[in-house]
Amino acid sequence: MTQNETIKLPYQAPWSWLQFHEHFKLRAIAGQERLGECDYCRSFRLAGVTGWFRVTALPDQDALLLTCSASASACLPALVQRVRRMFDLDADPAVIAAHFAADLRLAPMLARNPGLRLPTALDAFEQAVRAIVGQQVTVKAAVTITGRLVNRLGEPLDGGPTGIDRLFPTPAALAAANLDGIGMPGKRVQTLQHFAAQVANGELRLDISQGAAELIERLCALPGIGPWTAEYIALRAFGDADAFPASDLGLLKAPIWGAAGITARQLQAHAEAWRPWRAYAAAHLWHNYSGG
């Protein structure tokens, strides 16, 4: 595959590029990712292959355009699968909307934003690192710190488009690094490096082949990782449709609960009716909370 060849990735409408643009606008890491008005570009490491890809929204078609580096030919089926998951192109919006149609709180949100999907990560390890770094800090602060990790530990990428010249650090590099001055509390650095070491040595498998609940349990067994982080990883790293971080502030303070908000226990109970699509309910609550 040459750099100029492209693949169309179809989806079932509605689907909103604006949602993904806003998502990446808050989270893109310089050197690794670049966001344009109608496209998103980033580096990747997959099955021993490194390179870059660009996804472009096609306003007149129900499809995205995927353009890859020549190196991607060695892992193209896996990359296409990852990109489809990343942009949630395999969801059936009609099925999800039908499930929430009788919910007096969620149905109006779906009517306003029928194309809302689950933006997820290209790489599970990267997303887990972002989630750990993001514990108890703002998204902006987490992106700043993660950007320092990429600049300090990420390998250079040659031949990428302008602004795409760095790969995300490997688990081994992150586990062995000196992270003094990175901007995180010592305990969180310990949590991050222990997690990275577990992935690097094969003790921790980042997959949901045995179900998301099993991964969440394994993650919660690690020091410094609680239910919010584990559920968020299941949601953002794998697009698990029923993952639900019930203690998330944005979910607890969503406008639909009124000025007083709701407790995590109350939300957990309320969300039982949203199974097996609780992650999509979370996407709408977050969207509603952010005013997007």
DSSP letter at 260? T
Q: CB within 8 A of 212, min separation 6: which ones?
A: 234, 238, 240, 242, 243
* H helix runs in the chain, sequence order: 17-27, 76-86, 93-100, 106-112, 124-133, 139-153, 171-176, 186-200, 212-220, 227-238, 249-252, 264-270, 278-290
Q: Which residue in 149, 170, 166, 150 sits closest to 158, CA to CA? A: 166
> What does the alpha-carbon distance between residue 104 and residue 10 come to, in Å, rounded to a whole number?
32
Helix H, strand E, coil C: the string for 187-241 is HHHHHHHHHHHHHHCCCCCCCCCCCHHHHHHHHHCCCCCCHHHHHHHHHHHHCCC
> What does the alpha-carbon distance between residue 279 and residue 284 come to, in Å, rounded to a whole number?
9
> What does the alpha-carbon distance between residue 207 and residue 215 come to, in Å, rounded to a whole number?
7
- Single-letter residue type at 232: Y
Q: CB within 8 A of 215, min separation 6: which ones?
A: 206, 207, 208, 230, 233, 234, 238
CB 115 within 8 A of CB 14: yes
Per DSSP, which regions of 2-38 are E strands? 6-10, 33-35
Question: Which residue of the set 88, 240, 242, 248 is catalytic?
Answer: 248
CB 236 within 8 A of CB 134: no
Strands 6-10 and 49-57: unpaired
Q: Is 248 a residue of the active site?
A: yes
Active-site residues: which are they? 248
